[in-house]
A = this chain, B = another copy of it.
């Protein structure tokens, strides 16, 4: 929904989305939540909370950050809310990563030095 062409602002929205995703991933608890949803499938909040040494309301706030980054969705089931992994924003992270790939591959082949460009104004 907040996809590639929402219209109007265009790139500004994308940048904000990107920022939310990277910010969401900047916390170890939230990354662990994503791993749990990936490895154990969709779960209600309490089941997730069992894995952490943190009160449930704190986890609720982490889930909110993940929701606003589009990394999880909730589906209400009675009085519970089943959280599910939404991996699509992670594809954008991979896209962001891609232009760097050749740099670490060069390093691994030991060719890095040869291909580095000097700043071309002066050297000591």
**A interface residues with partner B (beta carbon < 8 Å):** 15, 19, 22-23, 25-26, 28, 31, 34, 38, 41-44, 47, 77-78, 82, 84-88, 90-91, 93-94, 96-97, 99-101, 103-104, 107, 116-119, 123-124
Contacts and interface: CB of A to CB of B under 8 A. Distances in A.
A25 to B, nearest CB: 5
A112 to B, nearest CB: 9
* Chain A contact residues, majority secondary structure: helix
Task: Report the copy number of this chain in the oligomer.
Answer: 2
A119 B38 contact: no
Contacts of A85: 100, 103
A50 to B, nearest CB: 13
Nearest to A94: B97
A28 B38 contact: no
A106 to B, nearest CB: 8
Given A22-B25, A87-B101, 15 more contacts: A22-B26, A25-B26, A38-B99, A38-B100, A41-B116, A42-B117, A42-B118, A44-B119, A78-B124, A86-B107, A87-B103, A88-B107, A90-B101, A90-B103, A91-B104
